[in-house]
Amino acid sequence: MGLFDSLKKVTSNANAISAAASALPKSSGKTVEVVFPNLPETLEQFKALPQAQLTSAFDTAALTVLALCFYPQNKELSIEMLNFLKGPNSLNPAELQFLRDRFMDKDYVPRSYFVGATPANDYQPSQPYTIKVSENPYSYTQENYAQLYMSSGGADSPRYVRLRLAKDGKWYLWEQFILSDIRKPESTNPWA
């Protein structure tokens, strides 16, 4: 292959990459408030929520928080909810171990993503239960994936979940990064 052919191939590849990038959804920087008037008590009630249609990545992100909130009281129900959100994939052993580790002494972390939940009120959310889910310029850098952000009342920067669009048109949970440490509730903080 000659030099000219090599340059043509590089230019062709660059054009293909540019075309693929322009086909990705563009972030408008929007924030969606996902509201749950009541919390489900069973897997069937969870699946009956309007957001459980999974047609919006924002809904799937908010449902992830909701499912994680059940883990401290009912680990099995929480895992069933998360497996529903994961669609064709279920939680693998490493993800299950990660959940066990994260919830050893921090049951309040998922509640902190609800509007009104702060360290001062021991992360008790306002009602109706509302989660704000946001996109940013990095939300859609890979085709059929979305990286959406949520703010915790106990953290300085938003945390994110990655979602994957399946061929059935539903957005499924791919991975979550929302269980990192946050400020302790004031009732458990001897320095507060």
Q: What angle, rounded to 10 degrees, do the helices at 93-102 and 75-86 form?
A: 130
Is 58 inside any structural domain? yes
Q: What's the rounded Cα separation, in Å, for the pair 8 and 1? A: 11
Give the residue with greater pLDDT, 170 vs 28: 170
Is 8 inside any structural domain? no
Its domain, for residue 92, covers 32-188
| pLDDT value for 166 | 97
Is 7 inside any structural domain? no
Quick check: 20 pLDDT over 70?
no
- Segment 101-137, tens digit of pLDDT: 999 888 999 999 999 999 999 999 999 999 999 999 9
Is 15 inside any structural domain? no
Q: SS3 for 150?
A: strand
Is 5 inside any structural domain? no
Plot region of 169 (φ>0 → left; ψ -120 to 50 → alpha; else → beta): left
Is 22 inside any structural domain? no
Q: SS3 for 80?
A: helix
Mean pLDDT, the chain, rounded, equals 89
- Segment 129-139, tens digit of pLDDT: 999 999 999 99
How many structural domains comprise the chain?
1
